[in-house]
Structure 1
Amino acid sequence: MTEYLDVAEGRIAYDVTGEGPLIVMAPGMGDLRQSYRLLVPELVAAGYRVATFDIRGHGESSTGWDSYTTTAVGSDYAALIRHLGGPATVVGLSWTPDSAVVAAAELPEEVTGVVLLSTWATAPQPGALMAALQRLVVRTPALWAMFYRSLYKGPKPADFKDYVKALKANLREPGRTASFVAVALPESKDSGAYRARVHQPALIVMGDKDPDFDDPRAEAEKYASDLAGSTEIVLIADAGHYPQAERPAEVAAAMLPFLARTAGAAGA
């Protein structure tokens, strides 16, 4: 069931499932919180309370925000943790790992661990033609849907066709494409400096066939080198950019030992 949290600039849509230690998860840009729909049941069954939320301007969260940066979304993680009651593990995907890191840095006593999926260590540097194509893609829901499909290199979920249809429909709602464009601006990734302030344990999970990276492990190792705490890296075989949907059982298997060490006893 969708719930809402009012923050200074707008309203964040979220849902909570399960009982136990809290996990707070946000999807990447141009996506919905339901991106985690196959992973959440695995975590709930293991004894965790899982909150997923739509980032600013996406899904059921409001549009018209003054800021769409990774730092701003990090403040939404923090607000939701305070609202639901920590401590919590924060999970980010693709664009949102740097937002999860902001929350970890700002709430060192309330965030016990950080899980980063398909994370970018360095901003991509496209040429002029590719940059122009990217600007067109984020402004055109049908083109984004085509690109989104191309990032799946492992098994597609049974409901994948319907999910992409819902994603396109959401982006066509008033204000949502404009929000996506704002999130996709290079300057929106403004929180890299927070990484050095994260002393909590971290887990980085990458698909070994992720087409966004020439070398997914090398990208993960670079990100790990920026963090101040200990970091584990797990590569998910036969998965692309969305391992939590392509290989949810394998991602859960990577997360659960980490959560057992960092989040407290499941079911507590």
Structure 2
Amino acid sequence: MGDTGATFRLLTPHLLAAGYRVAAMDVRGYGASGTGWPDYAPASIGADLLDLIRHLNGDTPAMVIAHSIGCSSAVWAAAEAPEAITALVLIGTFSGEAPIKPWMKAASRLVGRSAALWGLFVRSSYPTARPADFGDYLAALKAGLRGPGRLAPLRAQIEVSLSGVENRYAEVTQPALVVMGTRDGDFADPAADAALSAAKLAGPARVHLVDGAGHYPHAEMPAATAEGTLAFLSRLRTSATSSRSRQGL
């Protein structure tokens, strides 16, 4: 929400160094994506994600890393087309159990009124550390949101969040990792909400807590986020190799 695929810029080098191919997607309405989309619902963005996977990989499935409301789209895609996604890493996802207080709804709608106010929110979401390029990155983010029609997806996604997204956790059978910063201000108890989200997933799920990080652990503490992510992906690789060996492949 309110960001581009460049949000993963500091996590990507760790994935590349481990031998993965990485594609960072701009959600409809942001970054290199155009404007004037009919909607910005999680299901629609999930369908975009599946289109991108098939465009880049054909029939070969992908592992998907998503953040915040983007996790709802990733979960939708994994439930809708399990053959296209082998695993999920959900950063800052939400269980849907905690009610949203009225003052939080008002504040959320307020930050969607301008790029400057959204920038203040993003700045507050890094409670412990900010990356060296944070100033330039935030300036570019706000500049992008000032273009014609560029606040539309932000406002639409805020309304979707406030109305309560029903994640399709119970339909996801793929392995998943829930990553949560212990100081994520979006949650009263980040660790507890991460555990709730993991418990709702039908497939095997783990939780990786990033100590001291806020809502953007992949940018605030990319090394710590990568450590848990790569350990999870490595276990999947090992499991897949063992399975092929048992089958004599």
Question: Structures share a fold, TM > 0.5?
Answer: yes
Question: What secondary structure does 1:64 align onto?
Answer: coil
- Picking from 200, 214, 221, the partner of 1:240 is 214
Q: Is 1:30 matched with 2:5?
A: no
Q: Where do 1:137-148 residues align within 5 Å? A: 137-148=111-122
Superposed CA deviations along residues 22-63 of structure 1, whole A, max 9, x for unmatched, are xxxxxxx01111111110011001000011111111111111
Other-structure match for 2:20: 48
Evaluate the alpha carbon distance shift between residue 80 and residue 168 of structure 1 in structure 2; reply closer, same or farther with a 3 A threshold. Answer: same
Name the CA distance, whole Å, in 2 between partners of 1:202 and 1:80.
20
Q: Does 1:91 align with 2:46?
A: no
User: 33, 37, 42: which is aligned to 1:65?
Assistant: 37
Residue matched to 1:13:
none
Show structure 2 runs of 5+ residues with no match.
Answer: 242-249
2:181 corresponds to: 207
Report Cα offsets for 1:139-189 as digits up to 9, x if no partner: 211011011100101210000011110110000011111221112113687
Separation in 2 of the partners of 1:162 and 1:83?
Answer: 32
Q: Partner amino acid for 1:255?
A: T
Q: CA deviation at 1:246?
A: 0.9
Letter in 2 for 1:76: D
| Equivalent residue letter for 2:171 | R
In the alignment, is the contact (CA less than 8 A) between 1:118 and 1:206 conserved in 2? yes
Instruction: Name whichever of 168-177 and 129-138 sits farther off.
Output: 129-138
5 Å-filtered alignment, 1:138-217, equals 138-186=112-160, 192-217=166-191
| 1:224-244 deviations in Å (ceiling 9; x for gaps) | 122101110010112111000
Structure with the largest fraction of strand = 1
Deviations 1:179-229 (A, max 9, x none): 211121136877625211100010001111111111111101111122101
Helix, strand or coil for the counterpart of 1:143? helix
Q: Which residue does 1:26 correspond to in 2?
A: none
Q: CA separation of 1:155/1:129 partners in 2, compared to 1, >3 Å: closer, same or farther?
A: closer
2-structure distance, mates of 1:188, 1:126: 7
Query: Over alpha carbons, which structure has the higher Rg?
Result: 2
8 A Cα contact 2:41 2:160, kept in partner: no
- Sequence identity percentage: 48
CA distance in 2, matches of 1:193, 1:152: 26
Structure 1 partner of 2:91 = 117
3-state SS, counterpart of residue 168 of structure 2: helix
From 72, 75, 92, the equivalent of 1:101 is 75
User: 1:254 is paired with a residue of what secondary structure?
Assistant: helix
TM-score by length of 1: 0.83
Q: Is the 8 A contact 2:29 2:36 kept in 1?
A: yes
Distance 1:237 1:187 in 2: 25
Separation of aligned partners in 2, 1:255 and 1:88: 15
Go from structure 1 to structure 2 and tell me whether the alpha carbon gap of 1:99 and 1:123 turns closer, same or farther (over 3 Å shift): farther
RMSD of aligned Cα (Å): 1.8
Equivalent residues of 2:29, 2:153 under 8 A apart:
yes
Seen in structure 2, the aligned counterparts of structure 1 residues 104 and 201 have a Cα distance that, compared at 3 Å, is same
Write the distance in 2 (CA, Å) between the matches of 1:126 and 1:226: 20
